Structure 1
């Protein structure tokens, strides 16, 4: 028996409720989407006019964006405190910040002031290298060319202090900050080196000033290490190896190591 099944493939009334499609006119082109729903208005408003100088302007807009960017100042502006607009100064990108160097130097020169435990969050080596160079230069002017001894003792001493601090403390500290603290606290010893240019330190005056500088450097460095690592009950244990390190620098400033003795 033949049965007409063409109606079984036709959409039912329940399906029409979900899939309602408007009747398309005959011989109408296929349209996948209506451009007016995505782009209200004419599409020509989205197309800007690009001029010969690189300026992009839109019809009806009050102004355009220029393609030429002019710096706020000359090329020397990058070396100052302001730099170019929206960019840090070139010296800060190289790790040289004179305001931070001055703040840490004042902390060393005033060791009795309370030390902030976050003072070495922005540790740098610009100040320590500057102080070591000044110390070696002053000794050179006094007839003691000891650049190699200064950098050698500083390197071995920093490695030793770094090992001891990480063994003694629970928080730990990296070698970069250890070198930074020891270098900044060398500042009083730089004053002794400057004094050696004017006065012979191999005598009572030199012994007194060298002892004072050792105590000053040791007190400042141990205070910073204790504040950063929160080791308030172990300051004497930290000060002992640090004092030995600065004692070596004092010996280099008083005596002519490897010299002729004249």
Structure 2
């Protein structure tokens, strides 16, 4: 029949008036044109393009570097957290917890301080404390870490028995004890220049012990959620910090 023998007179897109073609092109600026197939030329939007092509851009359109050197570069994805925060070192939490120790009556101890189990700050304070003792001629790094480990284990189980819910962790206990060691660091610094085995040294050491004990007991009371037993919590803490003060006051005598 004549209907089946009729040949197409052109593709469909070319039969559209020129004005409508320009409007269609302006409304689809990212369309991808494909050659005519069987006399018909079609257009396909770029969203239907194959997704398996290799490119160096992420979903947000930010170009990333290529090659093996990209593994050692500092480029990354947007809104990516810093590396220190990914491994558990948050400087904002370190700052908040340090201020809570230095000013124990400064206000409410928020959950970001109570639930923080950061150990970077305690390790730094122990290292500085031992360094000041070393400058004073007292090599006692083994005693510092030994007493810290034994005291942390003992106090952790002691406080866990006192808590009804047991909502305290070993790392959280070590974090609080380490941060509250900060008031004792000036004692070790003063011991570099002055002899602490006198009345002035005893008085200064006693004030530092009270400061550390008051700060630590306040945080532990908030963590454990207990009341009216702060003195019971403060007693073992005072003995714990007194051992560090004795390291700063007395000099180990060596045999001649």
Match of 1:209 in 2: 204
CA distance in 2, matches of 1:76, 1:240: 52
Q: How does 1:1-262 map to 2 (within 5 A)?
A: 48=49, 54=55, 68-69=63-64, 85-118=78-111, 119-172=113-166, 173-257=168-252, 259-260=253-254
**How far apart are residue 49 of structure 1 and its match?**
7.0
Q: Look up the SS of the partner of 2:229 in the other structure.
A: helix
**How far apart are residue 51 of structure 1 and its match?**
11
**How far apart are residue 256 of structure 1 and its match?**
1.9
CA distance in 2, matches of 1:108, 1:76: 38
CA distance in 1, matches of 2:56, 2:136: 64
Which structure has the greater CA radius of gyration?
1
Q: Is the deviation greater in 214-223 or in 168-177?
A: 168-177
CA distance in 2, matches of 1:170, 1:51: 57
Distance 1:218 1:67, change over 3 A: closer
5+ residue gaps in structure 1? 1-41, 57-63
CA distance in 1, matches of 2:94, 2:207: 23
**How far apart are residue 203 of structure 1 and its match?**
1.2
Q: Look up the SS of the partner of 1:207 in the other structure.
A: helix
Distance 1:188 1:135, change over 3 A: same
Q: TM-score, normalised by structure 1?
A: 0.70
Question: Contact between 2:114 and 2:222, CA under 8 Å: does it hold in 1?
Answer: no
Distance 1:144 1:84, change over 3 A: farther
Distance 1:105 1:261, change over 3 A: farther
**How far apart are residue 146 of structure 1 and its match?**
0.3
Match of 1:16 in 2: none
CA distance in 2, matches of 1:194, 1:76: 41
**How far apart are residue 238 of structure 1 and its match?**
0.3
5+ residue gaps in structure 2? 1-41, 67-71
**How far apart are residue 202 of structure 1 and its match?**
1.2
Matched residue count: 207
Question: Contact between 2:56 and 2:65, CA under 8 Å: does it hold in 1?
Answer: no
